[in-house]
């Protein structure tokens, strides 16, 4: 009888009993890869997977409601790409003994692909932390292959988003973007994240319509100073200046 070693047995490794091993693998494998690539500082960019690129927008016909929504989101694709490129060029201009910053995204389409695209256009390294979803399965073509990770568990993916991050940029997005933003905000507010971590909310029109943060202060559910945990920017230059002067 040829008994297979447990660590080679896929039936066991994909079973309920091996869940803790799979979770550990989603911690150890990115750790090993980041160390091998000498990546210890990231600037993470979150945002909608639905934001079309200019190329996609030009290929769509008609002027119906869907196209109007696409045009609203498309400007944030452009802004993400420009900001990512600008931040990468700034990082690469640093002296070799200074910290370098790698743009990291969620690896999906839309804003995420724009973030990696901008970094690649500046000839910089760029990382993605993808999640296994039926509608976001394709690898991002602008990401360095050795820094492209696919996660099964949301919580291990979120760990790697925050662990190496030295700044966050939150572009307009849906439930996933809001979840990522508020989780990190909660960790900072409660002192679980102790490092300096500047956060930029990009797009005053979007964020002012979506959330009235002053209401939280008015009702006493947060302190006034909690509003200083993030900065709302409306231009690439504003966001770039805030991040580069804060990290």
Give the whole-angstrom CA distance, residue 15 versus residue 11.
Answer: 6
Q: Does the pLDDT value for residue 193 go beyond 70? A: yes
Is the model's pLDDT at 96 over the cut of 60? Answer: yes
Asked if residue 199 lies in contact with residue 168, where contact means CB atoms within 8 angstroms, the answer is yes
pTM here is 0.91
Distance CA 164, CA 30 (A): 11
Query: Which residue bears the tokens 């964020």?
Result: 207
What confidence tens digit (pLDDT) does each residue in 224-246 have?
A: 999 999 999 999 999 999 999 99
As a whole number, mean pLDDT of residues 199-209 equals: 97
Q: What is the DSSP string of 66-99?
A: HHHHHHHHHHHHHHHHHHHHHHHHHHHTS-TTS-
Q: How far is CA 34 from the centre of its chain?
A: 16
As a whole number of angstroms, the longest Cα–Cα distance in the chain is 71
Q: How far is 38 from 105, CA to CA, in rounded Å? A: 18
Q: Stretch 95-105: mean pLDDT, rounded? A: 87
What are the structural domains of the chain? 18-246 (3.40.50.450)
pLDDT value at 97 more than 80 = no
DSSP-assigned letter for residue 53: P
Return the pLDDT at 7.
87
Q: How confident is the model at residue 79 (pLDDT cuts 50, 70, 90)?
A: very high
At residue 217, the pLDDT reads 97
pLDDT score of 71: 82
- Across 185-205, b (16+ Cβ under 10 Å) vs e yields beebeeeebeeebbbbbbbee
Sequence-ordered strand ranges (E) for the chain: 42-46, 102-105, 126-131, 148-151, 165-170, 199-202, 231-233
Q: Dihedral, CA atoms, 225, 230, 235, 236, nearest 10 degrees?
A: 140
Q: What is the pLDDT of residues 115-142, one digit of tens each?
A: 999 999 999 999 999 999 877 556 788 9
Burial 64-89 (b: 16+ CB within 10 A, else e): eeeeeebeebbebbebbbbbbbbbbe
% of the chain residues with pLDDT over 70: 93
Average pLDDT estimate for 71-88? 95
Confidence band (pLDDT; 50, 70, 90) for 61?
low
pLDDT, mean over the chain: 92
Instruction: Tell whether the model's pLDDT for residue 50 goes beyond 70.
Output: yes
At 55, is the pLDDT very low, low, confident or very high (cuts 50, 70, 90)? confident
Phi-psi label, residue 203: left if phi above 0, alpha if psi -120 to 50, beta otherwise:
left
Query: C-alpha angle 82/205/189, rounded to 5°?
Result: 85
Query: Is residue 95 very low, low, confident or very high in pLDDT (cuts 50, 70, 90)?
Result: confident
Q: Is the pLDDT of residue 53 over 70?
A: yes
What is d(CA 192, CA 22) in angstroms, rounded to the nearest whole number?
Answer: 25
**How confident is the model at residue 166, as a pLDDT?**
97
Q: Is the per-residue pLDDT at 197 higher than 60?
A: yes
């Amino acid at each position: 009888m040829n008994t297979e070693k447990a660590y080679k047995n896929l039936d066991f490794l994909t079973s309920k009993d091996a869940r803790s091993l799979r979770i550990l693998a989603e911690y150890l494998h990115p750790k090993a890869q980041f160390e091998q690539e000498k990546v210890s500082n990231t600037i993470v960019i979150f945002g909608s997977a639905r934001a079309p690129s200019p190329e996609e927008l030009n290929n769509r016909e008609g002027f119906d409601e869907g196209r109007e929504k696409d045009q609203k989101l498309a400007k944030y694709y452009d802004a993400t790409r420009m900001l990512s490129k600008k931040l990468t060029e700034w990082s690469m201009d640093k002296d070799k003994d200074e910290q370098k910053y790698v743009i990291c995204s969620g690896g999906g389409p839309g804003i995420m692909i724009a973030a990696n695209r901008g970094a690649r256009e500046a000839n910089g390294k760029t990382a993605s932390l993808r999640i296994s979803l039926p509608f976001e399965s394709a690898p991002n073509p602008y990401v360095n292959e050795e820094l492209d990770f696919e996660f099964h568990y949301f919580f291990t993916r979120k760990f790697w988003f925050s662990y190496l991050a030295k700044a966050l940029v939150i572009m307009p997005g849906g439930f996933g973007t809001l979840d990522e933003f508020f989780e990190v905000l909660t960790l900072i507010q409660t002192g679980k994240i102790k490092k300096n971590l500047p956060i930029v909310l990009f797009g005053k029109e979007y964020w002012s319509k979506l959330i009235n943060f002053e209401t939280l202060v008015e009702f006493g559910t947060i302190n006034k100073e909690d509003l200083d945990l993030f900065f709302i920017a409306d231009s690439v230059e504003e966001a770039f200046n805030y991040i580069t002067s804060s990290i």
